[in-house]
Structure 1
């Protein structure tokens, strides 16, 4: 009988280093089958005009289709494949295509608000909060959004001050209390990554999923 996969939730503020932590886990467990399920893919589809979509607060729990994320994660845990949605940041809307994903031994769920939902938290074996200073995160966000998402500096700063920063303190930072492990400075914290991977190896071994 196939063993239940291990589900790791990695959260933190925008540009906190969640991807670096997730990548560190991938590198440590290359002998296993892994997949990354990004919460960003589950932003709700909107019928609003483009200019109105640009003004949506994307750091609010209401911006996500959390029931769909929950159901698809649960399906993966039960051994079923899913067709994950795709979100297009340039049009601020869900794309038409989907990504087919097969279940794996290790599932990393990454996103700013994955710990805000109790039912989603129940599906996770390990919950990680990446804790990074606000100034560092905003600099990273500016670089990323200008390079990867074609946004202007004024647009990025305006959004950060109006929605990103207030929402972080209202919705995201409070979820730190649900974390099993808090990782300061993201993927640069070698000691925290080592402790995390040691715990993951122990769970995998207990479930007969060792390399």
Structure 2
């Protein structure tokens, strides 16, 4: 099994890169996981208290559960991936059953900031995009998909997103095996990554036939 980690700042296009990779390789060979699904659940807190949590800090991620799930998949065991509700800042009661495949693609802003998670990644990709583009993409996404106001998105960006990006995300770029400028628009870089994974799948299939 090959586990690919795709990191980058908010709005960098890492999800687009991950989805392109899944599309090129086919759903039978690859499954996509998101680090966002593994935010810690805090049912003991009120909604107002949960809204004040810094979700851009590594401590907001249930890395222990994510690590457990990655190791389970690598060992051929299915997992029940949590689902996160961004409106209530809590986990949904439903989970998604994920079966192991030849390739696991994991995307998230803080993947490379955690040494334990980094050690589970066979290929580490960082999507590097201009900050102005990233903040505009985040603004549009949070308003359209998560029902946020312009004021709340801007306040969160200035209070936590940018400081945490500077403290954790940007420094983690040095751990990347491949840096993709401009995300999903970089056809050459995506082609290189896809070819590398296809070569792995071809070698794995040959080894199984022997």
TM class by shorter chain equals over 0.9
1:73 aligned residue (70, 76, 101)? 70
1-structure distance, mates of 2:200, 2:69: 22
1:184 aligned residue (181, 186, 190)? 181
Q: CA deviation at 1:151?
A: 0.6
> Runs of 5+ in structure 2 lacking a partner?
none
Q: CA deviation at 1:31?
A: 6.8
> CA separation of 1:91/1:58 partners in 2, compared to 1, >3 Å: closer, same or farther?
same
Moved over 3 A (4+): none
Q: CA deviation at 1:28?
A: 1.4
Q: Which has the higher helix share?
A: 2
1:25 lines up with 2:21 in the alignment? yes
Q: CA deviation at 1:116?
A: 1.3
Q: What is the match of residue 152 of structure 1?
A: 149
TM normalised by structure 2 equals 0.94
> CA separation of 1:82/1:209 partners in 2, compared to 1, >3 Å: closer, same or farther?
farther
2:9 aligned residue (13, 18, 25)? 13
RMSD between superposed Cα atoms in Å: 1.3
2-structure distance, mates of 1:32, 1:101: 12
> Runs of 5+ in structure 1 lacking a partner?
none
> C-alpha deviations, 1:53-100, integer Å up to 9, x for none?
111110100000001000001101110011111110000111221111
1-structure distance, mates of 2:85, 2:206: 35
Is the CA contact 2:22–2:32 (under 8 Å) kept in the aligned structure 1? no
> C-alpha deviations, 1:102-150, integer Å up to 9, x for none?
1111110110111112221122111000001111011001100000001
> C-alpha deviations, 1:19-57, integer Å up to 9, x for none?
110111112112742211110010001121111111111
1-structure distance, mates of 2:206, 2:53: 42
Q: CA deviation at 1:208?
A: 2.2
